[in-house]
Structure 1
Amino acid sequence: MASGKKVYSYEDVIRHDKNKDCWLIISGKVYDVTPFMKDHPGGGDVLLSSTGKDATNDFEDVGHSDSAKDMMDKYYIGVIDKATIPLKPAYIPANPPGHRKTPEFGIIKILQFLVPLLILGLAFAVRHYTKEK
């Protein structure tokens, strides 16, 4: 373990899940990414979506550059006590209370509702028009 760095329990870390207080667990290390929220290229919501769990897979799946990985040292605050991590991950809702929804979310939901209705209306119009001739 890193000397001089604090050991955090899983419960300690998951409490930090807000825009102005955001901690992540990546590869057994704890990072306070709060100062990076506004500067993250994917936006702060990407970081918030990785709170409350081990975010290692989220981080690795993106394919961060070497410079991004080097930048992590600045936010490193300690290590996670692996004995406190639950065996079964907790369910994290897509839009937990207090997290803002992106405008795209509403547009997608509206389109998912309207597009089938438009197609159905078009089908009825074609059927009606072809019956008259």
Structure 2
Amino acid sequence: MEQFSQSELAKHHDVGDLWVSICGKVYNISGYVDDHPGGVEVLKDVAGSDGTESFEYVGHSEDAYKTLQRFQIGVL
């Protein structure tokens, strides 16, 4: 897996180019934004940053974790 810096992650903060890190893993979720059950706004809040706290606070299902894995592109 490719390793990304926090500054590289921060460059990807737009809906059309949306990366987020969760538990030290980096995900490009640009292609999932429209399908996210919680809507685009919650994703925009964590775009280009560490979304671990928000992700865990919501209490996502096992299916959500499996879906997320498809979008992993690297690690921090």
TM-score range, shorter chain: over 0.9
Q: Distance in 1 between matches of 2:49 and 2:29?
A: 15
Distance in 2 between residues matched to 1:7 and 1:22, nearest whole Å:
17
Per-residue CA deviation, residues 38-91 of structure 1 (Å, 9 max, x unaligned), is: 0000111111101243110000000000000011111000000xxxxxxxxxxx
* Equivalence map 1:7-46=2 (5 Å): 7-46=3-42
What amino acid maps onto 1:63 in structure 2?
G
Percent identical pairs in the alignment equals: 38
* Larger radius of gyration between Structure 1 and Structure 2: 1
Q: Structure 2: where are the runs of 5+ without partners?
A: none
User: Take 1:8 and 1:53, find their aligned partners in 2: how far apart are those partners?
Assistant: 12
The superposition leaves residues 101-125 of structure 1 with CA deviations (integer Å, 9 ceiling, x where unpaired) of: xxxxxxxxxxxxxxxxxxxxxxxxx
**What is the aligned residue count?**
76
The question of whether the paired residues in 1 share the 8 Å contact of 2:22 and 2:51 is answered with yes
Question: Higher strand fraction: Structure 1 or Structure 2?
Answer: 2
1:1-133, aligned counterparts within 5 Å?
5-80=1-76
CA distance, structure 2, for counterparts of residue 66 and residue 9 of structure 1: 28
- Higher relative contact order, chain-length normalized (CA < 8 Å, sep 6+): 2
Distance 1:58 1:42 in 2: 12
**Mind listing any 5+ residue stretches in structure 1 that lack a counterpart?**
81-133
